[in-house]
Each structure stands twice: as structure tokens, then as C-alpha cells.
Amino acid sequence: MEILIYENLNQIQKKEILRRPAVKAKDEISKIVEEIIQDVKKRGDEALIEQALKFDKVTISSIKISQDSIKNASKRIDKELKKAIKLAFENIKKFHEAQIFKKIKLETTKGVKCELLTRPIEKVGLYIPGGLAPLFSTVLMLAIPAKIAGCEKIVLASPAKINDAVLFCANLCGVDEVYQMGGAGAIAALAYGTQSVEKVDKIFGPGNAFVTEAKARVSADIEGADIDMQAGPSEVLVIADEYANAQFVASDLLSQAEHGADSQVLLVCLSENFAQKVNDEVQKQLENLARKELASQSIVHSKIIVAKNLEQSLEISNAYAPEHLIIQTQKPRELLSGIKHAGSVFLGAYSPESMGDYASGTNHVLPTYGLTKTHSSLNLADFSKKMTVQELSVKGFKRLGKSVAILAAAEALDAHKNAVELRLKSLKEK
């Protein structure tokens, strides 16, 4: 990993070292995704079955997975894995149940009652990628809050052949229907519906460049579906002082690097000596990883930045706005108040990112690519929406009437003014 002394850099260089690898849908990807979406809109299930053979190399006869198949898959899961999944389930459930919105109701003026209520999104689609790593943990992260929020229809899509653990988690979380479909075609089916797939209102979940491009397209179409967020490659920034364990720090950097070649990991530490220790440890641990090739490609565009103190470390972190922020310092909680932008924060030597990815209870679906400056980590609120209510008594209406009429007149909205003055006149006549 490249080691850089932050104080030796000019302003342009400081910005450059925090630049993420370019993420851009190439013209070729855009064209392919558009063709796939139009094909699914036109031919529905038939197109999805052909895509399963073409992209996933699996022959299927139907899109929907039967309940018997889901139950049989659950029987094949190792007991220890089931036990671990259920522990994660309980922790995630507890944390998200604590986020249940409590309605707001108050009188802004005597006789003027205002309320803020929440209602679940009716139909949600959860996308779980296939590929090298079956992300069954993402089923828990998406389906548990959807269920707690009270979504009426929860469906899940994943490329054929769906991993048994994914089906087990779907069943455990109470998912209504599971579809064996993947990529841009799955996103199109969820957004527009097919013979077997019911159209949803909002789509959640990560995916490759084709999935990301498809999500962007359907969310821009008024007839499509909303999405959770545009997710770029995974990333982590670690802040470490001289008391940190170099072995632990290296393992945290690599746990993110193994996600993919375009993942980015950054270490901000306080000395060149510690930087070199971590760098050596990264190379040592890298040799024993099953996904060594992917992680190695990620490490190429990752960096170690030496800051002059912890205050400057926070400055660097806030400028980068990481998806995951790990703080391995002697007193990590003391830095928490200085953190402005991060998707999820991990405090201390024994809070590795892996805990949040699986079982601590927080959600692992997080904004990336600097979007933590404006976006939150996925939470219960994402599966619902808010609506306001107002109710005025006669006395409350009279107290506000004259002021509202003046405001409407000042904006030259006569009908707004009339809606108030006609009522005021009626009250006077009574």
C-alpha cells in the first residue's frame, strides 16, 4: 500500500489521494441494461427464463420458488449455521424494533392540531446478489426491517440457483415470495412486474454494475419503482493510533478489500513506523486469503495516510466520508463527537466491521462513494413514509384565518385567500 505523509501534500494532492476509483456505467453497460429492461417489459417471464440460462448458466422452468423448495433448502442448512443466523436475526430485530416511529401530535396554536404519522411502503422488493459470495446476511438486513415496518408484500429476488442459506433466511424473516432471477432483468421485473412477479413500490439491495445501472433507470421512470440508494464499491477507513494492534488493523483493511477489485481501503495513522507495520501485516495476511486475487487488486488503489495527530485524522475522515469507519485508538469514543460523515462507525479494537456486517444488530446496507455526507445507513424509516395531519377547531381557524389570508394575498393566490375569507365571513354571519 502507498504510504503518504499528509502534511507534505498541497491542497490539490490532499483531494487527489481521497479520490475514489472512477465508477461510471460505460456506454456498453447502459446499452445492455436498456435492452434487458425492454425485453422483460415486453416478454416478462419468458425473457427472465432465457436470461437465467444466458447469464447464470441455469435452466429453469418457472420464476417463483415453491414453498416446498424453500422448506427443503432449510433442512439442508448446517445446525451451527442455523444457530448463528438466528442469533444475528434476534440482534438485528432488536435494534430495528427500537427504531419504530412514535407519532408526533401537538397544538401549534390553541385549536390547531398537527400530527406526523408513519405508514409502511406497501410492496417492497429485496435483491440479493448471487456470484462468488451468497449474501444471505443481506436477506436479514433487508427483510427484518421490512417486516417490522409492516410492509404488506415482501418479495425477494436472487439469481438461480439460489443458495440454501438465502432461502432459509427468507423463510425465517417471513418473506412472502421468492423469485429466481438476477441482474438487470430482476430489477426490471420488480419495477414493472411480469406474469409471475408482482410489481413493487421500492427496490432494496446491492448488486454489480448492471444491477446498479438498472436501479438508476427504473428509479428515474415514473412508471418504475423507487430504490433504497445508489451503491458504489465497498469502502473502509481506519483511524489508528500507536496503541492499535497492527495485526487487527490489517485484518480490518483486508476484510473490506476482499469484497471486490474496486473496493477501497484507507488507513489513517500517526507514524510512518506504524504505517509500515500494518503494510507488512497486510501482505502477510493477504497470502492466506481465498480471495487473494480480488483483495490484491483492491489494495493497489488503497492508501496509508500519516496524519500529525488525531484531530487531523478526523479531518481526513470527514473529507473522505467513508461507508465504514473503524476507530482503533486508546480512547475511541472521545473521537465520536468529531465524526461528521460515516455510514457505520466501529469503536475500539474489538469492534471489527465484520460484527456490523453480520450480527451486532446495525444494518450493513450503507451509502458509499461519499454519499454519507447526505445519506443515512439503511434503517426502519426507509421502509415507510410520513404523512402530516391537521385539524382546526372553529376557534383555531379564527385565530389563524386573518394571517393566512394576508399571506395568500401577498403571494397573489386569490383562491387560497378566498378559501379562508369565505369561511371567516360565514362565521361572522352566524
Active-site residue, selected from the candidate residues 96, 324, 341, 364: 324
Residue with cell 404523512: 387
CA neighbor of 194 nearest in space, from 45, 52, 62: 45
Q: What is the pLDDT along the chain (430 residues), one digit of tens a residue?
A: 999 999 999 999 999 999 987 666 678 889 999 999 999 999 999 999 999 999 999 999 999 999 999 999 989 999 999 999 999 999 999 999 999 999 999 999 999 999 999 999 999 999 999 866 789 999 999 999 999 999 999 999 999 999 999 999 999 999 999 999 999 999 999 999 999 999 999 999 998 889 999 999 999 999 999 999 987 789 999 999 999 999 999 999 999 999 888 899 999 999 999 999 999 999 999 999 999 998 999 998 899 999 999 999 999 999 999 999 999 999 999 999 999 999 999 999 999 999 999 999 999 999 999 999 999 999 999 999 999 999 999 999 999 999 999 999 999 999 999 999 999 999 999 8
Sorted by where each starts, the structural domains of the chain and their CATH numbers stand as 27-227 (3.40.50.1980), 232-374 (3.40.50.1980), 393-429 (1.20.5.1300)
* Residue 357 marked as a ligand binder: yes
Residue with cell 395568500: 408
Active site residue 391: no
* Residue 328 marked as a ligand binder: no
CA neighbor of 124 nearest in space, from 135, 137, 139, 102: 139
Q: Virtual CA dihedral for 415, 421, 422, 424, nearest 10 degrees?
A: 160
Three-state SS annotation for 113-130: EEEEEEEECCEEEEECCC
- Strands 112-120 and 104-109 come out as antiparallel
* Cα gap 122→202, rounded to integer Å: 9
* Residue 416 marked as a ligand binder: yes
Q: Virtual CA dihedral for 142, 144, 148, 153, nearest 10 degrees?
A: 60
Q: State the Cα angle at 84 between 78 and 85, rounded to 5°.
A: 90
* Residue 301 marked as a ligand binder: no
Please report which residue ranges of 160-291 form alpha helices under DSSP H: 164-173, 183-192, 209-220, 246-257, 272-286
Per the CB < 8 A criterion, the answer to whether 171 and 164 are in contact is no
Q: How far apart are the first and last CA of the chain?
A: 82
Active site residue 258: no
* Residue 234 marked as a ligand binder: yes
**3-state helix vs strand vs coil in the chain, percent to 5:** 50, 15, 35
Q: Is 369 helix (H, G, I), strand (E, B) or coil?
A: coil
Active-site residue, selected from the candidate residues 235, 281, 323, 353: 323
CA neighbor of 278 nearest in space, from 289, 266, 296: 266
Per the CB < 8 A criterion, the answer to whether 366 and 346 are in contact is no
Evaluate if pTM is beyond 0.75.
yes
